[in-house]
Amino acid sequence: MRAIPNDLISQYELNVRKCYYSRNNYFIDTDSARYVLRKVNITPEQIMFVNEALVHLKNSGFSHVNSIHETKKKLPYAINRGQVYVLQDRQDGEDIEFNKEEDVAGMIRLLAQFHKSGVNFESEHRKSENVHLKDLYTHLKKRHRETQILKKKVVPLSQKTTFEILFLKGYKPYEDLQKMAIECIDGASCDRVMGDVKIRKSLAHNDYKYHAVSRVGNSYNLIQIDQCTYNIQILDLSSILIKIMQKNKWDTKLLMRLIEEYENVRKMSPEEKSLLKAMLIFPEKYSSLCNKYLQCKRRGNYSMYEVKWNNMLAYLEDQVSAAHFIKDNL
């Protein structure tokens, strides 16, 4: 058992009764409350921004995330031996399971509540108009071009790796999905969505996965918002929906229920819905895999590419079927 360093805990007004260490975190019990002192890999500037965001969310009615407690010096972080820590209240919750419909529905409602409250946010440490946003229309077209380049490079090779053989044999359905997704959006609508981020000063979580949420009784709570910044909120939604779909055989009935759960809390604009449609259809895993293979310096000893390719194939048929449904019904 690792004891909490005195020069770390002394930065806070805490009377520690019990403490244990697990997964880079110190779990602290006092006579009046329970806390977690988390080691984080983000900059002090980001912590200041997150702390401001937490205050804004609380003031906007979003109470499903724990505030950060300040040190004696009124800072939202402590530094010990070069490591940065934040202190927050602790609630012992259960992990979210992607194969439980009520869990994923609760997770989507929580995200919608976070997005609804995370607008009109002014920060002293960052300006929404200065934040660089990824041009998604350009990004999707670039990813599509990269897979075309990879195909041209692989075809003439006399000796092909196992991955290259798999790629040439199975790229066509993924290429069709890329084209279908790009047809769902245009540069002008993407520009409007990006412009809305700066106008509405909207926050996105940027790391919304199953480990970002816990269930406490019948309530769902955010564990942390460490990567939060000004960004396109629909990217949070598309990212988590894709992960849920991959775990549920691209069940379109479940997908439509989750989108309805989201819109019951926070309505999407037509441009946002088109963007969501494109991101759900676009085969990001395939495109990212091709990009990484294209950028790698050596062709040998890359069995991980074969493993990832075969993992994608496990749900390809369901993914293609769902893509056509999404295009026609979303």
Average confidence (pLDDT) over 203-217? 92
What percent of the chain stands above pLDDT 90?
Answer: 81
Say yes or no: 177 and 135 in one domain. Answer: yes
pLDDT of residue 185: 94
Say yes or no: 248 and 313 in one domain. Answer: yes
Average confidence (pLDDT) over 135-142? 95
In a domain, 170, yes or no: yes
Residues 6+ apart with CB under 8 A from 59: none
Q: Is the pLDDT of residue 14 over 70?
A: yes
pLDDT of residue 301: 60
Say yes or no: 40 and 162 in one domain. Answer: no
Say yes or no: 119 and 248 in one domain. Answer: yes
Among left, alpha and beta (phi > 0; psi -120 to 50; other), residue 201 is left
- Contact in structure between 29 and 17 (CB atoms under 8 Å): yes
pLDDT, mean over the chain: 93
- Contact in structure between 43 and 57 (CB atoms under 8 Å): no
Number of domains in the chain: 2
Amino acid at 225: I
pLDDT of residue 10: 94
**CATH code for position 69:** 3.30.200.20
Q: Is 32 exposed, middle or buried (0-12, 13-18, 19+ CB in 10 A)?
A: exposed
In a domain, 105, yes or no: no
The Cα 231–Cα 115 span in angstroms is 11
pLDDT of residue 142: 96
- Contact in structure between 230 and 255 (CB atoms under 8 Å): no
Average confidence (pLDDT) over 144-156? 94
The Cα 116–Cα 45 span in angstroms is 24
Say yes or no: 194 and 312 in one domain. Answer: yes
- Contact in structure between 329 and 256 (CB atoms under 8 Å): yes
Per-residue pLDDT band for 98 (boundaries 50, 70, 90) equals: confident
Q: Which is higher by pLDDT, 274 or 95?
A: 274
- Contact in structure between 103 and 215 (CB atoms under 8 Å): yes
Per-residue pLDDT band for 298 (boundaries 50, 70, 90) equals: low
pLDDT of residue 32: 87
Say yes or no: 150 and 73 in one domain. Answer: no
Q: Which of 75, 90, 105 is the last residue of a domain?
A: 90
In degrees rounded to 5, what are phi and psi of residue 87? -110, 125
pLDDT of residue 184: 95
Q: Which residue reads 């997964």 in tokens?
A: 23
Average confidence (pLDDT) over 139-146? 96
Average confidence (pLDDT) over 299-325? 89
Average confidence (pLDDT) over 27-46? 93
Say yes or no: 69 and 159 in one domain. Answer: no
pTM of the model: 0.94
Domain, as residue range, for 58: 6-90
Say yes or no: 120 and 234 in one domain. Answer: yes
Residues 6+ apart with CB under 8 A from 75: none
pLDDT of residue 23: 82
Q: Is the pLDDT of residue 192 over 90?
A: yes
Per-residue pLDDT band for 268 (boundaries 50, 70, 90) equals: very high
Q: Is the pLDDT of residue 1 over 60?
A: no
Say yes or no: 264 and 154 in one domain. Answer: yes
pLDDT of residue 210: 84
The Cα 311–Cα 218 span in angstroms is 34
Question: What is the SS3 string spanning the chain?
Answer: CCCCCHHHHCCCCCCEEEEEEECCEEEEEECCCEEEEEEECCCHHHHHHHHHHHHHHHHCCCCCECCEECCCCCCCCEEECCEEEEEEECCCCEECCCCCHHHHHHHHHHHHHHHHHCCCCCCCCCCHHHCCCCCHHHHHHHHHHHHHHHHHHHCCCCCCCHHHHHHHHHHHHHHHHHHHHHHCCCHHHHHHHHHHHHHHCCEECCCCCHHHEEEECCEEEECCCCCCEECCHHHHHHHHHHHHHHHCCCCHHHHHHHHHHHHHHCCCCHHHHHHHHHHHHCCHHHHHHHHHHHHCCCCCCCHHHHHHHHHHHCCHHHHHHHHHHHHHHC
Per-residue pLDDT band for 295 (boundaries 50, 70, 90) equals: confident
In a domain, 101, yes or no: no
Say yes or no: 84 and 165 in one domain. Answer: no
